[in-house]
Each structure stands twice: as C-alpha cells, then as structure tokens.
C-alpha cells in the first residue's frame, strides 16, 4: 500500500449519530460515503485520511483499512500475519500496539491469543517494538473468520482539539457537541446561546464553525508516525485558509464562577475569544443577546446536569422547569436543543419538543438530544 492506493477509510461516530456524520462527510466532498453501524466509510488514499482527521468535526476516529485475509485457527493467523506487508504502512522504529475484537461466528474466538500472534508477527518480521502505550494502534477485527486489519490514524480521539485544557465534572466531547449542533440545524449562520456552558464546548464549537477554523488545526495525529507519511504533502494539506470574518457572537453563561473562568480560558486558547462572551448568571436571569442586523433569533443549546453523576435528580426538576419557563417567556423565535439522559427531566421544561432520536452512549450513560422548532 502506497500513497496512490485507494482503500476503505472508516470514520467512527457515536452509534445513533451516523446520519449526522454522513451529512458532514457529504458536505466535505469525500468519495462514496456509506453509513455503517458506528460510523461512515469512504474510499480514498492517505491524503483523504489526513483531510478527514484535520477537517471532520463529528468523527471520533479515522481508521484506515490496510488489508484482510481469512484464518480459521491461530496457526493460520500466525502464518499469514508473517506474510502481511506491514512495512508498507508501519515503521520499524515506531512502537505499535495491537487490539483485537472477535465474535462467535469465528473459529478464532480468543482475542488475547490473536493479539499475541499479530504482535509477534509485527515484531519479528518488521522489527517494530510492541508497546501497550504506543500511539500507533493496529486493530484486528475477526468476523466470520475474516481477519480485517486497520490502523488508527488519529491517535488521541478527535474530540481532543488541543485547546480545552480546563474541563468540568461531566464535559461534553467536542465531536459530540458538533454533531448535536448539526442535528439542531446549526450551519454557522446564527448566534448560539448556552446558559449552562460549563467548559464552553458548545459555544466554542459554534464559533469555530462560523469562522471556518479547522478542528484539527492545533494537534498532531498518529498518521504522522506511519511509513505512508509525507511531511511536505501534509504541510500543503494543513495550509488552512485564514479565520473567516463574522459578525456573529456566541454566548455562554453559568452560575458557577469556576466554569465561567474555564470557558473563557478555553475560548482564548481556541482563538475565538473575540467571538465568545461568557458571563456568570442563573438560568432564570437569561435574556436573548442584543444583536445587530435583521436576524434576531438563533439557537439555544444546553447540556444540563442529569442527576446521574452531578447533583440530586429530584432537585433538578425545578432547574429544568425554570429553564423551560425562561425560554418560553424570553426566546420567542429561537430553536432549542437540550441534551440529557432523563426524558422526565426534559419533559419538565414543558417545551414543545419534536420527536426525538435514538439514545447515544456517552460516558457510561445513554443521552438524547431533545430539540424544538422556533418557539412561539
């Protein structure tokens, strides 16, 4: 496999949000996108891998499919792994780790034993060291005796943009926030308000989208340590357009002074502090921001406490009710998105929610996005 090859690239997403990621992938112009469980596949080469890591806000990881073969027992797996062209993708001087998943339809069912065979094959044929903490990860999936190899080209999850060093107790991942913004119809053409902003994820993502900043602009990726990496070609890909001018502003608030400080510093590190206004106030004091121009509405999106890990759930009904009352009284014409694990808490807002989508796994919980059309 060299830089001119075309292969399958798997863009992972939280299950339940594949459609939202598909829309982003289509808009970004990637070739032949297809929804699969847990993400979207495209066909492309290594430059597409680099572009996907750099540009896609909703993807959690970018996996490059580097080859496959059938194996019905461990000895066969070992023999064929030793003939696999590892040197076309991996470097002998870069540590590697191997992760295996298998299912009951396969003769090889012991993931740990399969992992050991692949590790030994890589170490003895390529010479690359095996390290459980390595940034470069080879993933083996054994399904119905077909062994499919992928390399994780992202390294750290793509939600780690490289700006948000300060986070609260239950932070919203950036890629999840980007997908929820998309699900609410946000395109970077309207203001966004988050009255429980925590570390500022929603408003920072919204400001970056509006100003055209690339999500991966400030970080490194695992693909930079692969044999397929071309620093000059990558420099050309990474040569992003300058920040786009926008008159829009993005408003976060929180009753907690520490959260306000966190969100403010995170916006500054992301380079959008001129577009983001963070204030300390209670939900009941929330008012629509004063805006110039014709469009006086926008999107309110909030990730309130759920009561599962933060706070007492019984005490949260009053908070949700106050939020709903304020939004209905003050934010006529605005759309609303609320993320929570508790349908009963969402209903306590008395907001006119649209039919809601599937639950999304997040931090050991199942959360949902509850959204509205413009409020009356």
How would residue 291 be classed by pLDDT, with cut points 50, 70 and 90? confident
pLDDT at 294 over 70: no
Computed over every residue of the chain, the mean pLDDT equals 92
pLDDT at 166 over 90: no
User: Cα separation of 161 and 154, whole Å?
Assistant: 11
Q: Does 121 or 306 have the greater pLDDT score?
A: 121
Nearest to 68 by CA among 85, 88, 50: 85
CATH code linked to domain 174-213+242-371 = 3.40.50.150
- Mention every residue, 6+ apart, whose C-beta is less than 8 A from residue 79: none
pLDDT bin (cut points 50, 70, 90) of residue 64 is very high
**pLDDT value at position 308?**
58
Question: Given this model, what pLDDT does residue 315 score?
Answer: 80
The more confidently predicted of residues 49 and 305 is 49
Q: Which range is least confidently modeled, 24-28, 234-238, 329-333, 344-348? A: 234-238
Q: What is the mean pLDDT of residues 22-40?
A: 96
Cβ neighbours of 219 (radius 10 Å): 16
In this structure, of 128-137, 219-228, 289-298, 305-314, the range with the lowest mean pLDDT score is 305-314
* pLDDT(172) > 90: no
Q: What's the whole-model pTM score?
A: 0.94
With cut-offs at 50, 70 and 90, classify the pLDDT of residue 311.
Answer: low
Task: Output the pLDDT for position 5.
Answer: 80
Among 93-97, 162-166, 178-182, name the one with the lowest average pLDDT: 162-166
pLDDT recorded at residue 295: 67
| pLDDT, mean of residues 196-202 | 95
How confident is the model over 317-349, as pLDDT tens digits? 999 999 999 999 999 999 999 999 999 999 999
Going by pLDDT thresholds of 50, 70 and 90, the confidence category of residue 46 is very high
Pick the CATH number of 7-152 from 3.40.50.300, 3.30.70.1070, 1.10.1520.10, 3.30.2130.30: 3.30.2130.30
Model confidence at 293, pLDDT cuts 50, 70, 90, reads low
Burial group, residue 361, by CB count within 10 angstroms (0-12, 13-18, 19+): exposed
Q: How crowded is residue 315: how many other Cβ atoms within 10 Å of its Cβ? A: 10
Where along the chain do its domains lie?
7-152, 174-213+242-371
User: Is the per-residue pLDDT at 167 higher than 70?
Assistant: no
Q: What is the pLDDT of residue 78?
A: 95
């Amino acid at each position: 496999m060299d830089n001119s090859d075309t292969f399958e690239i798997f863009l992972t997403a939280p299950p339940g949000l594949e459609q939202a990621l598909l829309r982003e992938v289509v808009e970004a112009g990637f070739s032949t996108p297809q929804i699969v469980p847990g993400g979207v596949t495209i066909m492309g080469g290594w430059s597409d891998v680099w572009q996907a890591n750099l540009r896609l806000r909703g993807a959690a990881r970018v996996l490059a499919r580097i080859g496959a073969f059938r194996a019905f027992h461990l000895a066969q797996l070992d023999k064929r792994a030793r003939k696999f062209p590892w040197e076309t993708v991996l470097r002998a001087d870069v540590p590697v780790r191997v992760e295996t998943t298998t299912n009951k339809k396969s003769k090889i069912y012991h993931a740990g034993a399969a992992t050991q065979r692949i590790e030994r094959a890589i170490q003895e044929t390529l010479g690359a060291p095996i390290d459980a903490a390595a940034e470069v990860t080879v993933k083996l999936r054994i399904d119905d005796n077909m062994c499919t190899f992928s390399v994780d080209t992202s390294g750290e999850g793509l939600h780690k943009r490289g700006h948000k060093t300060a986070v609260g107790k239950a932070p919203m991942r950036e890629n999840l926030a980007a997908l929820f913004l998309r699900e609410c119809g946000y395109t970077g053409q309207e203001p966004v308000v988050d009255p429980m902003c925590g570390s500022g994820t929603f408003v920072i993502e919204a400001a970056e989208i509006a100003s055209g900043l690339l999500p991966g602009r400030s970080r490194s990726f695992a693909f930079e340590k692969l044999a397929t990496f071309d620093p000059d070609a990558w420099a050309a890909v990474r040569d992003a357009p300058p920040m786009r001018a926008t008159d829009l502003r993005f408003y976060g608030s929180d009753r907690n002074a520490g959260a306000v400080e966190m969100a403010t510093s995170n916006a500054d590190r992301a380079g959008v502090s001129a577009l983001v206004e963070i204030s300390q106030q209670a939900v009941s004091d929330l008012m629509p921001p004063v805006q110039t121009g014709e469009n006086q509405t926008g999107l309110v999106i909030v990730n309130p406490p759920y009561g599962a890990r933060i706070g007492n759930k019984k005490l949260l009904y009053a908070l949700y009710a106050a939020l709903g009352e304020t939004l209905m009284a003050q934010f006529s014409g605005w759309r609303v998105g609320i993320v929570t694990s508790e349908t009963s808490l969402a209903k306590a807002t008395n907001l006119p929610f649209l039919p809601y989508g599937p639950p999304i796994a997040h931090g050991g919980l199942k959360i949902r996005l509850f959204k509205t059309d413009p409020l009356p």
